[in-house]
Amino acid sequence: MYINGAWCTPKSNATFDVFNPANGKKIANVADGTEIDARLAIDAAGSAFPSWSKSTAYQRATFLTNAHRIMLSRKDVLAEIMTIEQGKPLKAARNEVQYAADFLLWYAEEAKRINGEILPSTRPDQRFMVLHQAVGVVAAVTPWNYPISMITRKIAPALAAGCCIVLKPAEATPLCAIEMFKIFEEANIPNGVVNLVTARDPKPIGEEFTTNPTVAKITFTGSTAVGKMLACQAGAHMKRISLELGGHAPFIVCEDADPVHAAKGASLVKFLNTGQACISPNRFLVHTSAYDAFIDTLSTRVAKMKAGSGFEDGVSIGPLINQAAIDKVNRQVTDAVEKGAKLITGGMQLTEGRLADGHFYAPTVLADVTPDMLIYSEETFGPVAPIIKYDDNDDALAMANDTTYGLAAYVYTQNLGRAMHMFEGLRFGIIGINDINPTSAAAPFGGMKDSGLGREGGKPGIMEYLETKTAGLSI
């Protein structure tokens, strides 16, 4: 663990094992921290906060810029560790490292854009002054599916704002976090400003985060169930909280869209990270006129996808994170087929040859999916594309919004008016219009409803770490 500028073992001296999901082999053992270690890290952050929060924006920007430079110099090493630990293909891992580094550079610049205001008053002898200041110590919890970019997406704006932070990474991917903190150490970020606590059991760490009075804000990316629990616990202590939770993204192919072009986009975004992404499309709503052509193109491309280790050439489908993920996907597919869905390709766990010891599921396309099937309403988090036919655009919009989630949605259309109608009508925080990658360090990222609270990225991303203070001046 990394606490107060030093690498240390937990007070219990306990460790836990980390495994490669592609072959089941143990790759490392890691410090198994407890709430005691989390408390020490929070204390370190609290001690560092007065000095760090008073540093200039230019000083904080320099630290982030240095971390960005070091991170890019280690791009290949970071990507290889990610592929071993998380399973995604090496090319995708490199892309994630670049995306992660973008947040460091973006918020190095945003640190200098934390501007106040002078406001007029109804009284001639009064003025109002508005100031934004760091909220305090931040506790962060990051997921396993994007184990590096989710770290920088939280740490970069927190540090830019003048906050200190304690990070608890996912228990499945602690090695990526450790490598990132080596970079922060080399960038000479002052002691206590960034702290890392690794642990097999997240519950006691989370409870320390939500109850410790030094923690002013919690930021969490993960499941909706855990996010709601953290929100309840944080609310009891009036802590600020940001939540980026689950999704159930619709992918709408309108009647005027090019179904072949849409299917090509669908094949890329649906099976990115083997479907283990919160913005992964989960329901493909395809107009009747485009239905057959869309399925033909999508199924042809999916059938050619190769599963395997992320280090193998041509592999685009990596492992799922564990057997429980396999079982969830298989349950949804089995339920859909039993209720009348047509299995076009895939539909089974891959267990032969070099895949035998990993957690692989064949990329799958299901046609004729209906609302009574589990996959219609449950987030899959796996490589399955369920296709639903529709006839009316208003019906498609209603079906798309018929979910408690509201993170991402996708629309393919060549009609500008229809694009705007969908953009305004979809109850989701991120909309890709003929675009399968509607994310960037410069763009706000976050959802509505059960998909979370707050935004990461862009200008709103740094505001999540700032308090607003108003002064009335009598002159």
The model's confidence at residue 458, banded by pLDDT at 50, 70 and 90, is very high
Catalytic machinery residues: 244, 278
The model's confidence at residue 211, banded by pLDDT at 50, 70 and 90, is very high
pLDDT at position 472: 97
Q: How many helices (H) and strands (E) does the chain have?
A: 15, 26
Cβ atoms 43, 188 nearer than 8 A = no
Per-residue pLDDT, averaged over 263-291, amounts to 97
**DSSP-derived secondary structure letter, 277:** S
Cβ atoms 121, 470 nearer than 8 A = no
The model's confidence at residue 116, banded by pLDDT at 50, 70 and 90, is very high
Q: How far apart are CA 465 and CA 139, in angstroms?
A: 11
pLDDT at position 334: 98
Instruction: Give the start-to-end residue ranges of the domains of the chain.
Output: 2-245+451-474, 249-440
Per-residue pLDDT, averaged over 416-443, amounts to 97
The model's confidence at residue 389, banded by pLDDT at 50, 70 and 90, is very high
| pLDDT tens-digit map of 2-12 | 999 999 999 99
Task: Bin 456: left if φ > 0, else alpha if -120 < ψ < 50, else beta.
Answer: beta
Q: How far apart are CA 41 and CA 199, in angstroms?
A: 13
Beta strand 194-196 pairing with 349-350: unpaired
The model's confidence at residue 176, banded by pLDDT at 50, 70 and 90, is very high
Cβ atoms 348, 360 nearer than 8 A = no
Q: How far apart are CA 29 and CA 105, in angstroms?
A: 32
**Selection from 284, 216, 218, 248 nearest residue 448 by Cα:** 248
pLDDT at position 243: 98
CATH of 2-245+451-474, one of 3.10.350.10, 1.20.210.10, 3.40.605.10, 3.40.1800.10: 3.40.605.10
| pLDDT tens-digit map of 129-148 | 999 999 999 999 999 999 99
SS3 category, 434: coil
Per-residue pLDDT, averaged over 404-420, amounts to 97
**In degrees rounded to 5, what are phi and psi of residue 235?**
-60, -35
Q: What CATH number should be reported for the domain whose range is 249-440?
A: 3.40.309.10
